[in-house]
Amino acid sequence: MEQLEFFAVQNPCVGVCSVDDRGYCTGCMRKREERFNWLSMTPAQQLHVIKLCRQRYLRKKRLSNSKKCLSEPSESQNVPDSPTKQKRLFD
């Protein structure tokens, strides 16, 4: 039996609609099918997609951190990140 949801699940789109080499949106980490079918999904399915997106994001972050540790430190890594207007979905 599916649990009743009283509030609509917010769309995870952050307005950065470009795709990485694995086919995931770089903004929200959803696959193409997940983005296109979002409005026809049940709230339980939407929550499941958000859970998958969070896992994808953490996996990607973990891989990028391990690659940084393996590479030599460079001057560009010592420069603080410039402020950005894009909000982070999972941080």
58-84 as b/e, with b when 16 or more CB fall inside 10 Å? eeeeeeeeeeeeeeeeeeeeeeeeeee
40 or 71, which is more confident: 40
Q: Is the pLDDT confidence value at 28 over 60? A: yes
Q: What is the reported pLDDT for 83?
A: 55
| Domain chopping of the chain, boundaries | 41-68
Report the alpha-carbon distance of residue 34 to residue 19 in Å, rounded: 13
pLDDT (0 to 100) of residue 67? 80
Tell the residue number behind the tokens 């699940």, with chain if given: 9
The average pLDDT across 50-74 equals: 85
Q: How far apart are CA 81 and CA 37, in angstroms?
A: 35
Stretch 1-28: mean pLDDT, rounded?
85
Q: What is the pTM of this model?
A: 0.69
Reported as a pLDDT band with limits 50, 70 and 90, residue 4 is: low
| pLDDT surpassing 70 at residue 82 | no
Using pLDDT thresholds of 50, 70 and 90, give the confidence band for residue 59: very high
